[in-house]
Amino acid sequence: GAVVSQHPSRVICKSGTSVKIECRSLDFQATTMFWYRQFPKQSLMLMATSNEGSKATYEQGVEKDKFLINHASLTLSTLTVTSAHPEDSSFYICSARDNRGQDTQYFGPGTRLTVL
Amino acid sequence: AQSVTQLGSHVSVSEGALVLLRCNYSSSVPPYLFWYVQYPNQGLQLLLKYTTGATLVKGINGFEAEFKKSETSFHLTKPSAHMSDAAEYFCAVSDAGGGNKLTFGTGTQLKVEL
């Protein structure tokens, strides 16, 4: 299957700072990427759909000004957690849509964010 | 709106025993159904998916699932559990192809004992 990477894999930051997480599709172009967050022992919750060259679509209840998404190229989407607080600590997972052939989503390995 | 219910947040089986992880869905349109596996601190890996056609779907690592419309179920099975199967399993539903928004169940932690 196709490969999706995330960077960094782990990040610890102080409360009030901003953190950027990158999601890259390594061997295919992705016009659409998705961002999920996962709390311990819980399921993945879709935060937003990232569309190359246009604004992201946020799910209900997700603050667009706090979770900034940029999808500037066909292989890269970034999620910036602005003014992070301890309650933003979570596991953030991205996926990229590969619509060649069978139209499948491939998931990145996730980023563990800890806000002190 | 779509939803997924996974019965049993934890399932424990003996090595070599049958694995059965339950998934029921709710969808107003013909669903696309998926099973993913997640190992600790990793992303999700697709095990198998149902789109259209044959209702019994075979996936990787010996897993299979059967779509039963009358029961709105998509249970995951494996005839003989292996220690390496221990992981978190998520059932998901989409109203379109696998490249579209997914709604996940709450997950089932599978433990395999000697």
**β-bridge mates for residue A48, sequence order:** A35, A58
Closest Cα of chain B to A83: distance in Å?
A: 25
For chain B, the straight-line distance linking the first and the last C-alpha, in angstroms and rounded, comes to 41
Q: Are B24 and B72 in contact (CB under 8 A)?
A: yes
Cα B34 to the center of its chain, rounded Å: 6
Closest Cα of chain A to B23: distance in Å?
A: 14
Binary contact (A103, B97; C-beta < 8 A):
yes
Mutate which of A24, A105, A111, A112 to test chain B, going by most B C-beta atoms within 10 A? A105
Rounded CA Rg of chain A: 13
Minimal Cβ distance to B99: which of A1, A4, A97: A97
Query: What is d(CA A47, CA A95) in angstroms, rounded to the nearest whole number?
Result: 12
Residue B3 has pLDDT above 80, yes or no: yes
Q: What is the pLDDT of residue B2?
A: 85
Residue-by-residue pLDDT tens, chain A, 116 positions: 678 999 999 999 999 999 999 999 999 999 899 999 998 878 889 999 999 888 999 999 999 999 999 998 999 999 999 999 999 999 999 999 988 877 788 999 999 999 99
Residue B98 has pLDDT above 90, yes or no: no
